[in-house]
Amino acid sequence: MKATSIGLGIVLLMTMLPCCDPVSGQVIPDGSVNTRVSQSGDLFTITDGNRVGDNLFHSFSQFSVPSNGTAFFNNASDVQNIFSRVTGASVSLIDGLIQANGNANLFLLNPKGIIFGANAQLNIGGSFISTTANSIEFADGIEFSSINSQPAPLLSINVPVGLQLGNNPAPINLQGTGHTLTNTSGLTLAPLIRTPHPTKLQVPSGKTIALVGGDINLNGATLIAETGGIELGSVISPGLVNLIPSAQGYTLGYSNIQHFGNIQLAERSLLDISGVNAGSVQIRGGQLRFTDGSLILSQNFGARPGGEIRLQTTESIELIGRTSDVGIRGGIRSEALGIGNSSNINIITPILTVSQGAGVTNSTLGSASSGNINIEATATYLSGFSPTNPVEVTTINTSTLGSGNAGDLFFNGSSLLISDGASLSSTTFGNGSSGKVTIRNTNTTVIGESPSELYSNISSTTFATGNAQTLTLDTKNLQILDGGAVATTAFFVGSGGDLSINASESITISGQGRTISSSINASTLRPDPFLRQRFGLPDILTANPGSVSITTPKLTLTNGGTVGVTNQGSGNGGNMSIATNTIQLKNQGFIQAQTKFGNGGNIQLSATDLLLLRQNSLITSTSGGSGNGGNININAPIITGLENSDIIANAIRGQGGNIQITTQGMFGLKFRDQITPESDITASSQFGLSGTVQVNTVGVDPNSGLVELPANVTDPSQKIATGCSNNQGSSFIAIGRGGVPQNPTQEIRSDRSWSDTRDISAYRETQTVQAQIPQPPETLVQATSWQRNPQGKIELVVAKSPPQMPPALTCAAVVEN
């Protein structure tokens, strides 16, 4: 919708402004400087101007070049920079030739907008900077402005340092008939053939072509800067875009810019920096969109490494391969055709979408290495295939077809979705190795396949003598669904790469496509006869696969989901190590290490909580030929196998493998000599010796956690019943000052009063004892407090309570609490 609106705006702009008439072009000076224009038909010769040092200044009220017309800057050959501004209210329409003498750089400044028609061309010796900025700023602070033009402006001898843009700068639009690149071999990774193009904007080798303004739209346009630089910058907020001199002319800096606009390349537009030493491309914007086979091309024919291809946006980048029947799919291609490395590709954006057969590829065909691909994207979506050629799937790939190595592929972001047969991969078709593939993000999903039965994948692959390199995936959650794959693969002599996956939360592998099951696999595979003939592959493979290492809290394999190391050639199987809390295999989930001729691979499974197999699931390490079965080592506290789920280490002619299981409890699985419809553990051989099965059941220690009890658990005397409750009287003891010390060795203190303790009963008279009527004894009650009586003596008292009857004499046992 946005592209349609932009295109409609261009049409309306061209119909409303008389200056945009491609026939009635006008080049008219404004009189503010000494610019003179002489016209002969459609030839406009521009002379004089104001020269300050190596800088030449021109000023126009209108600047438009008609179809087949020419605007000729007839400057002195020693001029280094030509600054031409447009101060009127008209858009500049360039549909003819702009020409200048010598090696001067040409700056075209028109804040009202610039349109380059299909017939626009350049014939200059330096770089070309076209901008809708308000002014050009110099090192001494002087500005050459189209907004504040003066009759005799103060001009500078210094070099330009920046382009000062205002609010909502006007757009820059380019039109053309589209590129004419071809691929005669029909192979996707074969180098493109560049053909002369009649309509293009081209600067000399090693120079820069830069377009800086508001929205920038290329419709069939071709920009060529062989061994030079192409700069596209879309800015929608005021600020200074820095001009940084470089060996290739100028590099633009955007550190002062806050907000960016939109850039679109459509109708087979082309940015070409190929050459003896490939140049560089920088695109800065808010949104960037490639459609209809539009392309960035960098072919390096020389000995030095190519420059950088850098795409950076604040909102999104969308690469759409084909929306019609065009000859070349769109995207970004960097190729090394000499001994110098190809250009690195760097993409930085919040959202990256690559679809409909588009490609981001970096390859080498010789002894040089291909460049790297680095992607920094919060969300990345790779999907689909060319609507006109289902075999041509969407891809991000580094590759080698020669002795040089493929570059590395690095992805960093939050989410990655690969679907409908799309691919994120590094490949070797030659003697060189593939590149390393490294992915670090939060959520990764690989799902489905294309109508041509090419499955979605993240992979490192060798089709030749070169080795496949490592694939490392560090993520939070990994989902592989409906025939998708994460794999390292060897199809010939070169070894397969190691595969390492660390998922901090979970890995889920589920479902089947029409050709393969969803899988994580390190393998050596024998392709079908058509592919063997196409790539010149032998019938017998000698390569060895890599190893698989998986670390995650939860691994789930369902509906045919597989983790495997496979060798269909003459070599041995690879090794597999899985460390997790829980492993669940359901409905034909498989963990397998299989070979066709060599020894089966080894499987090491460690689960801290549970290993569960259900519904015909399988853990197997087998050999189909003369090799021995592999070894399986499982360590899990609980192992459960149900519904004909098996653990197998079998062989055909070789010896069966060894199975060692360490667990606290195993349920449903039993050792058997042969496979049955039950859940089995077997290590047999059809024609050789059987292997061994050892199950170490680690029980719970019965003494664990017990406390040693004392020999005498209680005092027996405390269990004897107490009789005669009246014996249990209360007592109250008060120690006064009188008496002798309790210990005869203690001294008598001087504060002790004397008391006569002699018995004087013999000196008393005997009195008649009166008979007394026995009275029932009073029941003693324990004192609860004390008080001082009127005589000053202390008395023990008890709270007033109802009279109590004396207890009956009894010797019945009384049990104490």
- At 651-671, the pLDDT tens digits run 888 888 899 999 999 999 999
Measured CA to CA, the distance from residue 503 to residue 440 in angstroms comes to 10
Contact of 632 with 649, CB cutoff 8 Å: yes
Contact of 551 with 579, CB cutoff 8 Å: yes
Give yes or no for residue 172 having a pLDDT over 90.
yes
* Angle CA 729–731–732, to nearest 5: 160
Average pLDDT, the chain: 86
Category of 560 on φ-ψ map: left (φ > 0), alpha (ψ -120 to 50) or beta = left
Give yes or no for residue 360 having a pLDDT over 90.
yes
**3-class state of residue 136 by DSSP:** strand
- First and final C-alpha spacing in the chain: 92
* β-strand partners of 21: none
Give yes or no for residue 329 having a pLDDT over 90.
no
Contact of 210 with 252, CB cutoff 8 Å: yes
- Taking residues 21-48, report their average pLDDT: 87
In eight-state DSSP terms, residue 20 is G
Confidence of residue 97 (pLDDT cuts 50, 70, 90): very high
Tell me the backbone φ, ψ of residue 804, rounded to 5 degrees.
-120, 140
Run of H or E including 333: strand 331-336
Confidence of residue 292 (pLDDT cuts 50, 70, 90): very high
Residue 140: exposure state from Cβ atoms within 10 A (0-12, 13-18, ≥19): exposed
pLDDT winner (highest mean) among 82-96, 387-401, 797-811: 82-96
- Taking residues 610-631, report their average pLDDT: 91
* Share above pLDDT 70 across residues of the chain, in percent, rounded to a whole number: 81
Confidence of residue 346 (pLDDT cuts 50, 70, 90): very high
pLDDT of 705 reads 56
Contacts of 786 (CB under 8 A, 6+ apart): 794, 795, 796, 797
Confidence of residue 528 (pLDDT cuts 50, 70, 90): confident
Run of H or E including 529: helix 529-535
780 vs 275, more confident: 275
* β-strand partners of 484: none
Measured CA to CA, the distance from residue 409 to residue 173 in angstroms comes to 34
Measured CA to CA, the distance from residue 17 to residue 91 in angstroms comes to 8
Residue 145, both tokens: 């402005």
Measured CA to CA, the distance from residue 17 to residue 568 in angstroms comes to 70
pLDDT of 785 reads 67
Measured CA to CA, the distance from residue 553 to residue 452 in angstroms comes to 36
Measured CA to CA, the distance from residue 265 to residue 645 in angstroms comes to 56
The answer to whether the pTM exceeds 0.85 is no
Question: What would the 3-class secondary structure string for 704-730 be?
Answer: CCCCCCCCCCCCHHHHCCECCHHHCCC
Run of H or E including 3: helix 2-16
Q: Tell me which amino acid residue 698 is.
A: V
- At 732-764, the pLDDT tens digits run 555 555 555 555 555 555 555 555 555 555 545
Q: 173-177, 192-196, 421-425 — which is least confidently predicted? A: 192-196
Task: Tell me, rounded to whole angstroms, the distance of Cα 330 from its chain centroid.
Answer: 24
- At 668-703, the pLDDT tens digits run 999 998 899 999 999 988 877 888 999 998 765 555
Q: 182-196, 238-252, 433-447, 561-575 — which is least confidently predicted? A: 182-196
pLDDT of 288 reads 99
Measured CA to CA, the distance from residue 543 to residue 600 in angstroms comes to 15
199 vs 52, more confident: 52
Residue 159, both tokens: 């070099």
Sign of CA dihedral 208, 209, 213, 217: negative
